[in-house]
Amino acid sequence: MAKITYQGEAESIQWFGVTFPKGKAVETDNEALIAKAQRNPFFKTAALVDKKTKAEIEAENRAREEAEEQRQREEEEEARRTLELNGGFGGGDDGSEPEGGEEAETSSRTRSRRS
């Protein structure tokens, strides 16, 4: 839904079957008309957002934020469980060295130089 105001020189015009008096806003839900008016320099458009729609948007935003917070809590819990299972350190997913550590890396580097 939007309000469209004709700002041309004529006192009124008929466009898409709707009469637009000069300088007076006309409400419409015709999406094609709204899209055309937004691109026409003789028209000014303003979207209408009623209180119910605004409340619905706010509720959706709250739900989205709550879901994100829940996801973060679950990730933190999973990370805590992983640390507990690994004795508080190591395990690979936390940036620790792979099995074999530096010795394994050194021997593989040495082998590649010999090749």
pLDDT at 49: 66
Kindly tell me the burial class for residue 37, based on how many C-beta atoms sit within 10 Å of its own C-beta (0-12, 13-18, 19 or more): buried
Looking up tokens 């809590």 gives 73
Number of domains in the chain: 1
Tell me if 26 is assigned to some domain.
Answer: yes
pLDDT in tens, 3-56: 999 999 999 999 989 999 999 999 998 999 999 999 999 999 998 766 567 777
Q: What is the pLDDT of residue 50?
A: 61
Res 108: pLDDT: 52
Q: What pLDDT, on a 0 to 100 scale, did the predictor assign at position 58?
A: 85
The predicted pLDDT at position 22 comes to: 95
Tens of pLDDT along 52-80? 677 777 888 899 999 999 999 999 999 99
Residue 9: what are its φ and ψ, rounded to 5°?
-90, -30
Residue 103 lies in a domain: no
Q: What is the pLDDT of residue 56?
A: 79
Would residue 33 count as lying in a domain?
yes
pLDDT of residue 10: 94
* Residue 28 falls inside a structural domain: yes
Give bridge partners of residue 12 from the DSSP assignment.
21
Written as one string, the DSSP assignment of the chain is -EEEEE-SSSSEEEETTEEEEBT-EEEE--HHHHHHHHT-TTEEEEE---HHHHHHHHHHHHHHHHHHHHHHHHHHHHHHHHHHHTTTS-SSTTSPPPTTHHHHHHHHHHHHHH-
User: Which domain covers residue 19, as residue numbers?
Assistant: 2-48
